[in-house]
Every structure is written in structure tokens, then in C-alpha cells.
Chain A
Amino acid sequence: EAGVAQSPRYKIIEKRQSVAFWCNPISGHATLYWYQQILGQGPKLLIQFQNNGVVDDSQLPKDRFSAERLKGVDSTLKIQPAKLEDSAVYLCASSFSGGAGTEAFFGQGTRLTVV
């Protein structure tokens, strides 16, 4: 079974530029998550999708971050414009149903450096 795929693996941009990350979840997984992991901290949820609907985006900085999952499969996360404090690893994860007792499977992440 193929895992969660993310691209790119690494990205370096200047502040105020825009950037986009792509995620392909495990086939059949209805729930998709984007997490931000700053160095030395645990992953922090940015947004959770159930199929193509948003379940939770309460911690997404909506003035600069946006995410979509149009067909309920792939997802993109965009930052525009980027700030220095956005430097982090962006992790995509998916789970089968998002219901009780299910674990999330993570991709390798995209390491973003904003200079």
C-alpha cells in the first residue's frame, strides 16, 4: 500500500513570496490533515478535511494560508505572502475515516525555509 505522498521535499523562498505544497493521501482515506511542525515543537494542526469539506481550520492563519481538496483526494496548501516565522516542516497526514480509534498516517513532509 502506497503511503502519503508530498512534494516538494524542500523549498527555500524569500519572505513575501508565495509557495504551494501538494499532498496525495493513502487511497481510500477520507480524512486529510495539514500540520505545521516548527523546529523543537510537536506538529500543530492547520486544517482538517473530511472528503472535500473542511472539518477544522481554526488554527489556519487565513490571511496568508489557504488549502483546498477539490475532488476529495489530493490537497494543496498555499502560503501567500510568506513570513520568516513560516519556516517549518509541513506535514500532510490521512486517516481512513477520522472516526474514533483511527490513527493518522504521515507523509515525509516539506521543509520550508523562508529567508
Chain B
Amino acid sequence: DQQVKQNSPSLSVQEGRISILNCDYTNSMFDYFLWYKKYPAEGPTFLISISSIKDKNEDGRFTVFLNKSAKHLSLHIVPSQPGDSAVYFCAASANNYGQNFVFGPGTRLSVLP
């Protein structure tokens, strides 16, 4: 039973355009959400996060939107760059569960020059 879902295994976007990666979750106890980026042969690196008390968090080219009622979040990358090509994981945690992180299966983003 996947608690965090990323229904698009892959996404291709032209350089300079917007990339939108989606994530859905089922556990209403989740209150903190994170996006990680992973290059081949490396561990995941933290990208951006959002608390459940917010609906938007922005950091440079990266913005995460949270829709709690729909149990949905999305990561927007504007403008997309070839170096953004990687696998993106959505993760969620619930403080009363000891703050362990539940990951989605990932979306492979390819930014085409």
C-alpha cells in the first residue's frame, strides 16, 4: 500500500520551459513534505520542503505547492535547465510517527537542450 505516489515515472521538458512534477499521498497524518533530487550513483539530495501549515514554498527556480484537501503536492521548476535532469523523489513525514520519511517511487525528469 503506497502512501506516497508519483504516477508519472518520467517527464521530458524543453530547456527554459516549466517542469511540473506531481505527488499524491494517502496518509492524512503527514505534516511535512520534501522533494529530493537524485543523480545516478549518488544519494538523494534535499531540494525543498513544505510544512502542512503552508500552501506554497519558493526557493529560487523551485516552488512547491501543497493542496491538503486533495492530498496533492507539486514541484515547479522554472526555467528548467539540462542540469535539472535527474530522478525526483517526493517524501512525506508525520511528526508523531518519529519523523521517518516515506518516499514515492520517483519521477525521472529529462530536460532537453
A residues adjacent to B (C-beta < 8 A): 4, 31, 33, 35, 40-45, 48, 50, 55-56, 91, 93, 95, 98-109
Which residues of B71-111 are within 8 A (CB) of A?
89, 91, 95, 97-106
* Given A56-B100, A98-B99, A99-B95, A42 and B89 contact (CB-CB distance below 8 Å): yes
The answer to whether A107 touches B105, judged by C-beta atoms less than 8 angstroms apart, is no
**How far is B100's CA from A102's CA once the two chains are assembled, in angstroms?**
10
Q: How far is the CA of A22 from the CA of B101 in the complex (A)?
A: 21
How far apart sit A115 and B98, CA to CA, in the bound complex (Å)?
36
Closest residue to A31 on the B side, CB-wise? B99
CA distance A55 to B101 in the complex (A): 13
Query: How many contacts between A and B, using CB within 8 angstroms?
Result: 65
A42 touches B100 (CB 8 A): no
Q: Is B16 an interface position by the 8 A CB rule? A: no
Which residues from chain A contact B49 at a C-beta distance below 8 Å? Answer: 101, 103
Contacts of B44 in A (CB 8 A): 43, 91, 106
**A100→B31 contact, CB < 8 A:** yes
Cβ A100 vs Cβ B103 within 8 A: no
Distance A103 CA – B95 CA, assembled complex (angstroms): 12
Measured CB to CB, the residues of B under 8 A from A are: 4, 6, 31-32, 34, 36, 41-46, 49, 51, 89, 91, 95, 97-106
Residues of B within 8 A of A91 (CB): 43-44
Q: Given A42-B104, A42-B105, A48-B100: A100 and B46 within 8 A (CB)?
A: no
Once the chains are docked, how many angstroms separate the CA of A103 from the CA of B49?
Answer: 8
Looking at the assembled complex, report how far the CB atom of A100 sits from the nearest CB atom of chain B, in whole angstroms.
Answer: 4
- Of B36, B41, B99, B106, the residue contacting A95 (CB under 8 A) is B99
Establish whether residues A108 and B99, one from each chain, have CB atoms under 8 Å apart when the complex forms: no
Task: Tell me whether B46 and A105 are in contact (CB under 8 A).
Answer: yes
A101: contacting residue among B4, B32, B36, B89, CB under 8 A: B32
